[in-house]
């Protein structure tokens, strides 16, 4: 019986960690289907076309700003209390869009949502690194990406469904983490290795230059990837409405198709990683992503957009766990919080700059051709990787 109890406790711990990790996808993609409706609701506001897209990307900016600091706190004081506080702020800030009076108040709420999201995802990723190693960390990072993907599927559907009732109703989705707050408080323990950090200042020392160079390369990959990946939630709703009459629910389902295939592919990441190196997985992933982006705009018809989203989902299902696992594999536990903080900051810095950079590409080429350009760039990156050493 004690053995059975310990097994159940371990499965419960994994499930709570994985479910809590899904809050990262709830933070942004949930509101993607309602962007056109939100834009129509503030016709008197100048530059609303840009401001409405910042609703999606403002959390990214504050994740970038806060992640290094939160990473330090996670390494200095441990994980659990910071994650609990982050979930609490997440609930308040996320749901604020339901009653906020102006687009600017919504953006303030999204800023606090970003800070709390940084605490959640960096903390959960660090806990995975604390608890597991070897093949098990490969498995957990793949499952983390899968849960984030399947969570995105659920949150996109709920966001689109509630958005068809009223765009503000979408923000009620952010009340769901109340359940996770209590589950995390009761069932997750602080790793023993963290319990002595307050007495061990030497554990906060910076690793050697070789590790930092590798981490910098990983972060650069993450930054570049997210600039183009975030074309999907930012531009796809407008692109689809330009080629066919479509509801918010349909837009949410279209993006959810990508998240479904991403999540499903991530489940098999552990097996794929046994065959290929980190570098090889990146080469394969960028080729797949390039094909997907080109397919989205190959013919301006809805069915081709869906096929492209399936292909993109497969590529993302490989590349995201590959980024996280590489960081976890090359960093010791004492630096995990800061290492994942740097990775998260890079991912969301790319998200924040995405509308700024992509809007310029669209002005030059048009919205359909911008997806083709993104695909060509992805394919070029895969070729570049063949000549770069990952050691």
| Per-residue pLDDT, 4 | 46
- Can you tell me the mean pLDDT for 314-327? 87
pLDDT band at 83 (very low <50, low <70, confident <90, very high): very high
298 burial type by CB count under 10 A (0-12 exposed, 13-18 middle, 19+ buried): middle
Rank 22-26, 128-132, 135-139 by mean pLDDT and report only the highest: 22-26
- Can you tell me the mean pLDDT for 199-219? 65
Contact 180, 19 (CB under 8 A): yes
Closest CA to 141 of 260, 16, 269: 269
359 φ/ψ sector (left φ>0, alpha ψ -120 to 50, else beta): alpha
Given CATH 3.30.830.10, say whether it is the number of domain 2-385.
Answer: no
pLDDT band at 262 (very low <50, low <70, confident <90, very high): confident
Higher pLDDT: 376 or 355? It is 376
pLDDT band at 190 (very low <50, low <70, confident <90, very high): confident
Work out the mean pLDDT of the chain and round it to a whole number.
Answer: 82
The pair of structure tokens assigned to 11 is 């499965």
| Per-residue pLDDT, 191 | 74
The model's pTM is 0.74
């Amino acid at each position: 019986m004690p053995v059975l109890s310990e097994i159940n406790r371990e499965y419960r711990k994994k499930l709570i960690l994985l479910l809590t990790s899904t809050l990262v996808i709830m933070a942004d993609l949930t509101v993607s289907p309602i962007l056109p409706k939100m834009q129509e609701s503030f016709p008197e506001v100048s530059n609303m076309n840009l401001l409405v897209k910042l609703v999606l990307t403002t959390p990214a900016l504050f994740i970038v700003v806060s992640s290094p600091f939160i990473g330090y706190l996670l390494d200095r004081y441990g994980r659990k209390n910071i994650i609990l506080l982050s979930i609490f702020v997440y609930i308040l800030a996320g749901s604020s869009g339901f009653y906020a009076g102006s687009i600017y108040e919504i953006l303030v709420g999204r800023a606090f949502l970003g800070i709390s999201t940084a605490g959640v995802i960096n903390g959960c990723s660090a806990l995975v690194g604390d608890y597991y190693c070897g093949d098990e960390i490969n498995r957990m990072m793949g499952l983390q990406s899968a849960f984030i993907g399947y969570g995105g599927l659920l949150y996109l559907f709920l966001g689109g469904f509630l958005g068809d009732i009223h765009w503000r109703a979408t923000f009620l989705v952010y009340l769901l983490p109340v359940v996770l707050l209590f589950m995390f408080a009761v069932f997750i323990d602080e790793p023993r290795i963290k319990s002595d950090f307050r007495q061990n200042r030497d554990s906060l020392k910076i690793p050697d230059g070789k590790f930092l160079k590798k981490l910098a390369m990983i972060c650069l990959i993450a930054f570049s990837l997210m600039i183009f990946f975030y074309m999907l939630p930012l531009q796809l709703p407008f692109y689809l409405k330009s080629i066919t009459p479509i509801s918010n629910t349909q837009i949410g389902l279209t993006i959810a198709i990508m998240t479904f295939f991403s999540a499903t592919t991530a489940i098999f990441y552990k097996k794929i990683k046994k065959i290929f190196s980190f570098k090889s997985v990146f080469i394969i992933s960028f080729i797949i992503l390039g094909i997907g982006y080109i397919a989205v705009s190959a013919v301006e018809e809805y069915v081709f957009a869906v096929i492209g989203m399936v292909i993109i989902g497969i590529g993302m299902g490989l590349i995201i766990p590959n980024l996280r696992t590489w960081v976890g594999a090359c960093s010791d536990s004492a630096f995990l919080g800061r290492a994942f903080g740097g990775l998260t900051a890079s991912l969301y810095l790319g998200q924040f700059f995405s509308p700024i950079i992509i809007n310029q590409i669209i002005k030059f080429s048009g919205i359909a051709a911008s997806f083709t350009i993104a695909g060509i760039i992805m394919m070029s990156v895969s070729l570049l990787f063949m000549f770069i050493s990952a050691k």
